[in-house]
């Protein structure tokens, strides 16, 4: 199937980045849809900020930026966004019920041969596909944050996803400049989070037990395992609430061993979510 027009549902943290990559690297026309004008304005502001950084680094010209912006069409109108899209990427908040609602609405107005993909870090692809009438044309596209810089994409096969759909999504991912990894079984956490989340949870356990300071734990993992960023800094970037949500899904779907450390839960209750609230394991207000 030839992909010509792409739609991204959601202009937030991930949605705006996916939109930018689709327009900037893959050079598709892309409709970015959200439910409030302020969300769209904020998404466009973040895209502009990111493009300006590429300009400052000398990686883009003003003419390049204008071309990218001309390919992006922000809209509040779902029908306008979806009606003749070949690929629809849902990128709303990591909440199963909300995702299903948005997916069902998009499915109802999308053309019959359109592929629908969901950007999720932990929710079952098969479960989300069930909200549509096209589970065979449905797949997971797990982008990593920020999508403008991170090369990896996990392409996940749901129970009914056809090989044709999977191949089309892999090709689009490559055109976006990504390195796709195919997840052949729809399991919670896919590949990266299956390895990462227990590691992050253990790092929280080390803080909880007073084994070492967050700074020293991060330093040890960066220098000892060659991670570009320590686990506690990474937690603050990802968001402690997001991480807790993923541990809960993995605990429920796979095994009790994925249970969140009590300190992680306590910090989420206290609103210490990391960078987005100004404080997590580190003080970001400085």
Catalytic residues: 121, 142, 154, 193
Q: Which long-range contacts (CB under 8 A, 24 or more apart) does 35-39 make?
A: 35/76, 36/76, 37/76, 39/11, 39/12
Distance CA 88, CA 103 (A): 9
Using DSSP, state whether 138 is helix, strand or coil: strand
Compute φ and ψ for 151, nearest 5 degrees. -80, -25
Structural tokens at position 78: 């779902």
Distance CA 139, CA 90 (A): 11
DSSP state of 283: B
Is residue 274 within 8 Å of 153, Cβ to Cβ? no
């Amino acid at each position: 199937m030839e992909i010509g027009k792409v739609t991204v549902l959601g202009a937030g943290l991930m949605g705006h980045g996916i939109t930018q990559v689709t327009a900037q690297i893959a050079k598709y026309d892309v409709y970015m849809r959200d439910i409030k004008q302020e969300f769209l304005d904020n998404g466009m502001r973040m895209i502009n900020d990111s493009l300006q950084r590429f300009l400052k680094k000398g990686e883009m010209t003003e003419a390049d930026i204008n071309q990218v912006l001309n390919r992006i069409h922000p809209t509040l109108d779902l029908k306008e966004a979806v009606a003749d899209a070949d690929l629809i990427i849902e990128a709303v908040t990591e909440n199963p019920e909300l995702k299903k609602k948005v997916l069902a609405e998009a499915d109802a107005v999308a053309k019959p041969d359109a592929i629908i993909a969901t950007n999720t870090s932990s929710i079952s692809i098969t479960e989300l596909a069930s909200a549509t009438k096209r589970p065979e044309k449905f797949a997971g596209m797990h982008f990593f944050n920020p999508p403008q810089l991170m090369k990896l994409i996990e392409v996940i096969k749901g129970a009914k996803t056809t090989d044709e759909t999977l191949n089309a999504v892999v090709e689009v991912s490559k055109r976006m400049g990504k390195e796709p990894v195919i997840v052949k079984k729809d399991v919670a956490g896919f590949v990266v989070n299956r390895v990462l989340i227990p590691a992050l949870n253990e790092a929280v356990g080390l803080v909880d037990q007073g084994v070492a300071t967050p700074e020293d734990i991060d330093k040890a993992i960066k220098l000892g395992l060659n991670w570009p960023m320590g686990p506690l800094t990474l937690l603050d970037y990802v968001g402690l609430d997001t991480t807790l949500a993923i541990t809960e899904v993995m605990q429920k779907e796979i095994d009790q061993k994925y249970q969140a450390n009590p300190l992680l839960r306590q910090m989420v209750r206290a609103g210490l979510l990391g960078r987005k609230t100004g404080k997590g394991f580190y003080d970001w207000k400085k």
